[in-house]
Amino acid sequence: KKYVYYFGDGKAEGTAQMKDLLGGKGAGLAEMTNLGIPVPSGFTITTEACREYFKQGKRFPNGMWEEVLTHLKRVEKSMGCKFGDPKNPLLVSVRSGAKFSMPGMMDTVLNLGLNDDTLKGLIDKTNNERFAYDTYRRFITMFGSIVTDIDRKKFEDLLDKVKEKKGVKLDTELDAKDFKAIVKKYKELYKKETGKEFPSDPYEQLKMAIKAVFDSWYGDRAVTYRKLHGIPDDLGTACNIVAMVYGNMGENSGTGVGFTRNPSTGEKRFFAEFLPNAQGEDVVAGIRTPLKIEELKKRMPKIYAQLEKICEKLEKHYRDMLDIEFTIQEGKLYMLQTRVGKRTAAAAIKIAVDMVNEKLIDKKTALLRIEPEQLNQLLHPTIDSTANVKVIAKGLPASPGAAVGRVVFSAQDAEEWAEKGERVILVRNETSPEDIGGMAAAQGILTARGGMTSHAAVVGRGMGKCCVVGCGAININEEEKYFTVSDIKVKEGDYITLNGTTGEVILGEAPLVMPKLPQEFYTIMKWSEEISRLQVRANADTPKDARVARDFGATGIGLCRTEHMFFDAERIKAFREMIVSDTVEQRRKALDKIKPYQKEDFIGIFKEMKGLPVTIRLLDPPLHEFLPKTEEEIEGLSNDMGVSVRRIKAKIKSLEEFNPMLGHRGCRLGITYPEVYEMQVRAIMEAACELAKKKIKVIPEIMIPLVAHVNELKIMKDLTVRTAEEVMKAYNVKIKYSVGTMIELARAAITADQIAQEAEFFSFGTNDLTQSVYGLSRDDAGKFLPFYIDHKIIDEDPFISIDTEGVGQIMEIAVKRGRKTNKNLKLGICGEHGGDPASIEFCHKIGLNYVSCSPYRVPIAKLAAAHAKL
Ligand code: ADP
Ligand code: MG
Ligand code: MG
């Protein structure tokens, strides 16, 4: 059995492909060595050895230690010095390195192999006492804190005391004598803390450090991290032993970290920082401020040029942007690590497109390098990450981006303040449909209750508006207009900032930056379109939404909700009149007032969509959602209509339902009040005809909601066709329109073969479909779904990602049965899931024609659609 893999002198036993066995770091070191890049010699103990170690009750597997000793000899030979040799000592670093880099794994111990004897050798060899003692005290600190778990602060405190006494701030200002004194104190500390002398035998040190690396695999933090990221527990970690090179040998030495390209902008330029006369993680530790890499170019132009060459070589080889760690020892460069670098969305896009242009990767690879969800970062204003902010609470990050504004506690205030030009944040316990106006007027929305699919969250996402929900830490006093978080009181008019990407609530005005979409973004969108089969449409209720959708490249509107058009102060009056009417005549009179509004909206939307299809859903929600609630509203309505307050109240009472979501809504309204749907069809077709007369192309698709039985659709279709024909005749034009239905009830899905004979298209309303198939009330699920997810009873909120095993199967049935009786049936999805990458992949798989999502998610959906095909 081979447990140890060597690298050095331009040749390695491992390769980049052996991440499973050698871990990321080991594989990278091997690969760099094979590429002829200067790496200090060393070897990697495999993850298999680690697994064996645990199997045998924390004992090194047979033969492993012997192999370590053999390979240590090879390193000695390669470096021309000997481990534990008091004349010419070899020192090594011991570094953990699992397949996935993960916090919680053991930190690196540098300079291992030092003791009082080898220290002398190091002094003689380098003729640099200060360097040697600096190295020694670093080693004791790392070994003591990392391998034997002494609180690192205790070492630092001792160091600080010496600095204080001397009146200096930086380690670099200390001399050999100071470090000598520190080493003595450190050894005392070690003895006091562990009850043992500091181990002087280098081999003993090495054994202990390797064990510590293996043990860290089951450290609490590592275990938690793996659980959160779904990394299996049985992979084990590798352990790398690398000959030391010294960045702390003076001003012509140093250490640095960097990226082959700029990781935040993607700019193709070596991006790094370095610190002269420093070792290991001094750069990241933040004690001294590192220098920009341009400074290295000035000081050591040759090294800089060599680094640039290495970056180029690495990129050519890995065909990706990499991060690197390097050390310079007395004017000689060594590479100590490389791996694929993390990057922002903006950088990911630029790098992907640039690399295609540089012929490093093909378009498909480029698309796969960008996570659809990542694009969100680009599509909303964000908080300037360099700003110092005060976070006072944290809720659920319901809709990303950032918003700054003054706090208001009612939708009405939001609208009024916004009209006066104020930026406001609407803060409520929860929101409801009548808050829409205020929500639209606000910069952002904060609620104390509700989950990721609460009204506020869904509407917020739909509007592309920053929204934080379910922030239980805030206590709202609506009466007196303030909210509190522990002992902080935020009054109406005070500024707060919301971070919809993290859920943070920040006191005061945090500075925002609006990312401008780079050219490369549009290139990625173009490539996505070329590759994907699924079309991407948008859910848009207003001409403004429609414009955003088109700008982001939507190929149509998949859902235009007509009821959202009524939440304007004037319109809702007419609509209420309609609802409380007792007779058909009264109702028609009220409907006649509404029709012009609807028509105007449709004209606006059709115009924006420039000939792309627009699916319009006829009235869907239960009527009582629109009813007046306050005495004032009721009185107003009574005056307007000349109907007594008592009669109106009686009417309101009569409209109450026990279970409105399964009640009198959708096509059930259309069937019992045909004049309502008739008016809507008229408005749609008149708008279409008027535009057609002006030679503007329109494709209306009229959608009947909440159909359960084919007969419902039959009746509604007859009414729609009859009305449409009438309108076209009156205008004397012919336009192509279609009639279809939503599939949002289990019965409709199961009887899709019958329904498809009456429908030209199906659109899966997966919000309601999930609700009805799962028997899960969207408005109440927040009380227990989070518990289910925390306790792994289910993996994911079915309102966020399609429950493919349950709801998804029903969709598949509907697709199959529908297409069987109507092979031209067009299929789409318009629920919230239409913007969720995992759900989009599923939609692709079951053969839908399009997905429809909120306008701001169109780019995400487009990329996800391409990924689904790849
Ligand atoms: P991490 O996983 O935290 O990046 P590393 O094992 O890469 O830990 O070690 C951290 C730093 O220690 C490296 O960036 C490098 O500067 C330094 N280092 C590690 N091994 C050596 C070595 N053999 N010689 C010099 N410096 C080293
Ligand atoms: Mg580290
Ligand atoms: Mg590192």
Neighbours of 618 (CB within 10 A): 26
Dump pLDDT digits (tens) for 245-293. 999 888 899 999 889 998 878 899 998 888 898 887 676 555 566 788 8
The dihedral built from the CA positions of residue 77, 78, 79 and 80, taken in this order, carries a sign that is positive
Cα–Cα distances in angstroms (integers) from residue 129 to residues 132, 255, 679, in the given order: 5, 20, 93
- Annotated active-site residue 624? The verdict is no
Q: Is 741 in the pocket of ligand 1 (CB under 6 A)?
A: no
C-alpha closest to that of 38 among 427, 361, 334: 334
Q: Which residue reads 């490389």 in tokens?
A: 338
The arrangement of strands across the sheet holding 390-394 comes to 390-394, 504-507, 495-499, 402-408, 424-428, 444-447, 466-469, 396-399
Please tell me the residue having the least CA distance from ligand 1 atom 23: 244
User: Which of 431, 430, 460 minimizes the C-alpha distance to 448?
Assistant: 430
Could you report the per-residue pLDDT of 185-205, keeping only the tens digit for each? Answer: 999 999 999 999 999 999 999
> Alpha-carbon distance 506 to 394, whole Å?
9
DSSP H stretches of helix in 127-261: 129-142, 152-166, 176-194, 202-216, 220-229
Closest C-alpha to 579, from 661, 640, 662:
640
Boundaries of every domain in the chain:
1-115+201-244, 126-200, 254-340, 381-513, 532-555+744-870
Q: Torsions phi, psi of 390, nearest 5?
A: -110, 105
CA distance linking residue 370 with residue 351, whole number of Å? 10
Architecture of domain 126-200: Up-down Bundle (1.20)
Best residue for ligand 1 mutational test, from 78, 281, 322, 335 (most atoms within 8 Å of Cβ): 281
Residue 499: strand pairing partners: 402, 504
Q: Where are the alpha helices (DSSP H) in 217-281?
A: 220-229
Residue type, 756: A
Q: 119: Cβ–Cβ under 8 A, 6 or more apart, which residues?
A: 132, 133, 136
Strand partners, 95: 240
**Which residues crowd ion ligand 2, with CB under 5 Å?**
107
Which residue's alpha carbon is at the smallest distance from atom 27 of ligand 1? 280
Contacts of 805 by beta carbon, 8 Å cutoff, 6+ apart: none
The three-point CA angle 785-788-789 to 5° equals: 90
Give the three-class secondary structure for 863. Answer: helix
Radius of gyration of the chain (CA): 34
Q: Return d(Cα 507, Cα 510) in angstroms, integer.
A: 8
pLDDT given for residue 452 in this prediction: 65
327 CA to middle of ligand 1, Å?
Answer: 9
Q: Name the residue with tokens 């969250």.
A: 457
Terminal Cα-to-Cα distance of the chain (whole angstroms): 39
Angle of the 116-126 helix axis to the 129-142 helix axis, nearest 10: 140
Which residue owns the Cα nearest ligand 1 atom 7?
Answer: 337
Ligand nearest to the CA of 283: 1
Domain 381-513: CATH class, spelled out: alpha beta
Pairing of strands 826-829, 850-853: parallel
Q: Is the CB of 213 under 6 A from ligand 1?
A: no
Neighbour order of strands in the sheet with 475-477:
475-477, 482-485, 488-491
How far is it, in rounded angstroms, from Cα 19 to Cα 700?
55
Distance CA 397, CA 460 (A): 11
382 contact partners, CB below 8 Å, separation of at least 6: 401, 402, 501, 512, 513, 515
**Residue 504: beta bridge partners?**
394, 499
Q: SS in 3 state form for 703-751?
A: EECCCCCHHHHHHHHHHHHHHHHHHHHHHCCCCCCEEEEEECCHHHHHC
Question: Which of 535, 115, 94, 28 has its CA nearest to residue 320?
Answer: 28
Helix (H, G, I), strand (E, B) or coil at 712: helix
Q: How far apart are CA 203 and CA 112, in angstroms?
A: 9
**CATH fold of 532-555+744-870:** TIM Barrel (3.20.20)
Of the CA atoms within 13 Å of residue 687, those in its CB half-sphere come to: 25
Question: Which tokens go with 331?
Answer: 């004017």
Q: Are strands 402-408 and 424-428 parallel, antiparallel or unpaired?
A: parallel
Q: How far is CA 405 from CA 262, 417, 493, 510, 610, in A?
A: 33, 11, 8, 10, 35
Structure tokens at 579: 């609802």
DSSP code of 751? T
For residue 441, what are its two tokens? 């007027």
Mutating to test ligand 1, I would choose from 237, 275, 325 the residue with most ligand atoms within 8 A of its C-beta, which is 325
Domain 1-115+201-244, second-level architecture: 2-Layer Sandwich (3.30)
CA 268 to chain centre: 25
Q: Enumerate the β-bridge partners of residue 467.
A: 399, 445
Residues of the chain with pLDDT under 70: 103, 281, 283-289, 452-453, 462, 464, 514-515
Which of the 8 DSSP states describes residue 410?
A: S
For 254-340, the fitting CATH number among 3.30.470.20, 3.20.20.80, 3.50.30.30, 3.40.50.1100 is 3.30.470.20
- Cβ–ligand 1 contact at 743 (below 6 Å): no
Given ligand 1 and candidates 22, 39, 93, which is best to mutate, with the most ligand atoms within 8 Å of its CB? 93
* ipTM value: 0.97
User: Does residue 455 have an active-site annotation?
Assistant: yes
Q: Rounded to the nearest whole angstrom, what is the distance from the C-alpha of residue 433 to the centroid of ligand 1?
A: 57
Query: Counting atoms of ligand 1 from 1, which one is nearest the CA of 246?
Result: 25
Distance from Cα 39 to the centre of ligand 2, integer Å: 19
User: Which ligand is closest to the CA of 242, given by its number?
Assistant: 1
Tokens of 559: 């859902």
Rounded distance between C-alpha atoms, residue 262 and residue 27, angstroms? 24
- Please pick, among 455, 833, 844, 867, the residue that the annotation labels catalytic: 455
> What CA–CA distance (Å, rounded) separates 274 from 293?
6
Residues found in the chain: 870
Angle of helix 345-357 relative to helix 519-531, nearest 10 degrees, comes to 70
121 CA → ligand 1 middle, Å: 23
- Residue of the CA atom closest to atom 5 of ligand 1: 108
- Backbone φ/ψ region at 374: left (φ over 0), alpha (ψ -120 to 50), beta: alpha
